Amino acid sequence: MGAKKVNYILIEKGEEPYQVLAEAMVFHDDLCGARIAMAWRIRNKADPDGHIVLGKCVKVSDLNKEFADFDFIIVLNKEYWLEFDDKQKLALVDHELCHAAPKVSDETGEHIHDERGRKVWRIAKHDLEEFLGIVRRHGCWKRDLERFAEAIEKKRKSPVFTGKEAAANDAPEETPTISINMDARCTKCKQMGATPSGLCIGCIAERIGESAHAVV
């Protein structure tokens, strides 16, 4: 019987992902003081539905803090990370940092500390504000990144093609995109960042929500 395979490897300080983390932290003043580690996920396959996990932000439990001084660990899919360009890497890490958030008091709004004086943190779910912040900084990156990873996975599993077959196999799939002009104001809320329709992403989402509520 062979040795059990290990799927996680801590990334050493000074390696590229930490440089990307430092760049992304500029957008996250609320994470000041957070101790963030990074790790590779090895042999990360797509799930039965074909979904590929590119990254994940994990909150370190109080028990695990007894063994390592971290508040969060950002786990990256190494196989796909190595294929991404600098902009894609920054967008992915920025997105994962949006899941890391301070736990604040409902009464005072202040950051809560534990009895040892350490800041208390939580994992935040996706919301419209997070989506808008990421879109403003990186565009509609997530689906593009997922499609790119899916193409890598398909190419890895496919037999080798030559000539016209190879060219057809490597041709990028045409996907719909949303153009956002950060110099144009939304015709409804007057915020910067309008789509060709004249509305910003937030107002479009509100209109979709209103339409959904109107349907019985």
Q: pLDDT tens track of the chain, all 216 residues?
A: 688 888 999 999 999 999 999 999 999 999 999 999 999 998 777 767 767 788 999 999 999 999 999 999 999 999 889 989 999 899 999 999 999 999 999 999 999 999 999 999 999 987 665 556 777 787 765 665 666 556 655 655 555 434 443 344 444 444 445 566 666 777 887 776 677 777 776 676 666 444 333 333
Q: Residue 33, by phi and psi: left (phi above 0), alpha (psi -120 to 50) or beta?
A: left
DSSP one-letter string for 45-102: ---TT-----EEEEEPPHHHHTTS--SEEEEEEHHHHTTS-HHHHHHHHHHHHTTEEE
The reply to whether 79 falls in a domain is: yes
24 shares its domain with 125? yes
The reply to whether 211 falls in a domain is: yes
CATH of residue 55: 3.30.2010.10
3-state SS record for 162-182: CHHHHHHHHCCCCCCCCCCEE
The reply to whether 84 falls in a domain is: yes
Structure token pair of residue 58? 């994990």
30 shares its domain with 112? yes
* Overall domain count for the chain: 2
Q: What is the pLDDT of residues 1-33, one digit of tens each?
A: 688 888 999 999 999 999 999 999 999 999 999
Domain span at residue 187?
A: 178-216
Closest by CA to 145, choosing from 84, 202, 65, 68, is 84
Token pair 């995109």: residue: 177
18 shares its domain with 124? yes
The DSSP secondary-structure symbol of 22 reads: H
Structure token pair of residue 188? 């409804």
